[in-house]
Structure 1
Amino acid sequence: MYLPRLFQEQDPERLLAFMRRHSFATLVTMEDDVPFATHLPFLVEPGAAGPGGRLLAHMARANPQWRAFSQDRDVLVVFQGPHTYVSPSWYVTEPNVPTWNYAVVHAYGRPRVIEEPEECLRILRESVATYESGFEKPWSLEQVGDYAQRLLPGIAAFELRLSRVEGKFKLNQNRAPEDRRAVMSLLERSEEPEQRAVGALMRERDT
């Protein structure tokens, strides 16, 4: 992606935390020179914010995308964070034009389909445990006995060994400090959760 130096995010821990927080991401592949996208929850393993890290996921075997996986070509996973329109009227200095503040991480790597039943089950268990962890009474895969095992033929699990991870946090870094503070303050006080989330990212980036 287009990545001006001012907007680059290179801190591995910050990238890892971002990918985990926004783990419902978009997998993009190419088939016959045509882009194909699937929206999936990903498991983001420790170390996944840099080359050599790993992402894990699964999709319906009826989805043809996994058949296009190749060990000779990277795929792209897009982790989209909060974003918001920024009005010129929010700045202190003049003249100005509108812009958009946002944060996104692009992860590139070679996919491999996982055929081993036990490894597929492990990915399912970890996925459930990850997304149930905040509940008062977390549900577990074991509660359905061998039902999950019977579903395995309809699932294509895969891993993605990462070759490159790019973070772009476009948060008014190209503006004067007083403009950044004005936008950040307004967003932090907003009634819109998405805008408050962008304001929180700006505050984190400025500290």
Structure 2
Amino acid sequence: MYIPKHFQLNDQELIDDMIKEYSFATLISQHDGAPFATHLPLLFNKDDQCLYGHFARANKQWQDITNQQVLVIFQGPHSYISPSWQSETNDVPTWNYISIHIYGTVDLIKDEETVKDILTSSVTKYENPNSGYHLRNLDPNYLRGMQKGIVTIKINITKMEAKAKLGQNDTIEQQKQIINGLENTLEENNQKVAELMKRVLGFS
């Protein structure tokens, strides 16, 4: 990923937060001699420095995904930045965003109980805390049958790089005007980008 020095994100806590919050990722590998991508939710284990997820078994990307380096892309919030928000109008539009690229190797997980534990963790992460849905309530034979339709993976992280393009190269006045412009919209992404600009740029 092209990362100018002033946009390089080294705040590991923020990187971890983004991976967990924007966990629907893009997994890219070589399949049949060409780049191939699958979009899927991934669970981040910070202590083990790995990601967990699963393919549909019918998705043949998993068949040759071992013994190669893969790329996982996590896309955080992003927003169009309008020159109309700034008092200096002799400018052009741009885009503010956070993006994280993770490289690693893949192991296929075949142990039935480990697969079940990963699936349970995934459901726990995404279900509302007040939800009454739990995998443990499913018929074991039904769940076992459903597990046969997936291939569970572990991605061992070998490299992580992150880019936060959030106006670091603008003046403080421009940064404040952009944050104000973002906050005056009703779009959720814009609100998130404004929050991130404050965090990264050090505004209270």
- TM-score > 0.5, shorter chain as reference: yes
My pick for the range that moved more, 62-71 or 90-99, is 90-99
- Residue by residue over 1:36-94, the C-alpha shift from the partner in whole angstroms, topping out at 9 and shown as x without a partner, is 111101111124xxxx61000011111001112122x2101111111111112222335
Match of residue 115 from structure 1:
110
Amino acid across the alignment from 1:142: R
Correspondence 1:141 to 2:135: yes
Partner of 1:15: 15
Q: Helix, strand or coil for the counterpart of 1:95?
A: coil
**2:54 counterpart residue number:** 58
In the TM superposition, what are the counterparts of 1:13-162 in structure 2 within 5 Å?
13-47=13-47, 53-71=49-67, 73-132=68-127, 134-146=128-140, 147-162=142-157
Distance 1:68 1:93 in 2: 53
| Distance in 2 (alpha carbons) for counterparts of 1:40 and 1:57 | 7
The Cα shift of 1:190 comes to: 1.3
Amino acid in the other structure paired with 1:69:
I
Q: Deviations over 1:126-161 (max 9, x none)?
A: 1111111x3422411011121211212211000000
CA distance in 1, matches of 2:38, 2:174: 38
Q: Distance in 2 between matches of 1:141 and 1:103?
A: 34
Counterpart AA for 2:8: Q
Give the match's secondary structure for 2:27. Answer: strand
Query: Which residue number in structure 2 is paired with residue 202 of structure 1?
Result: 197
Equivalent residue of 1:130, what SS? helix
Q: 1:12 deviation in Å? A: 1.5
TM-score when normalising by structure 2: 0.93
Task: Measure how far apart 1:206 and its partner are.
Answer: 1.8
SS, match of residue 9 in structure 1: coil
In 2 relative to 1, CA 62–98 (structure 1 residues): closer, same or farther, beyond 3 Å?
same
Percent of aligned positions with the same letter in both sequences?
A: 38
Q: What displacement does 1:112 show? A: 0.8
Calculate the TM-score normalised by the size of structure 1.
0.92
Determine the C-alpha separation between the residues in 1 that align with 2:132 and 2:16. Answer: 24
Matched positions, count: 201
- Give the AA of the match of 1:136: N
Q: Closer, same or farther in 2 for the Cα pair 1:178/1:33, shift >3 Å?
A: farther
- Asked if residue 169 in structure 1 is aligned to residue 136 in structure 2, the reply is no
> Contact 2:74 / 2:100 at 8 angstroms: preserved in 1?
yes
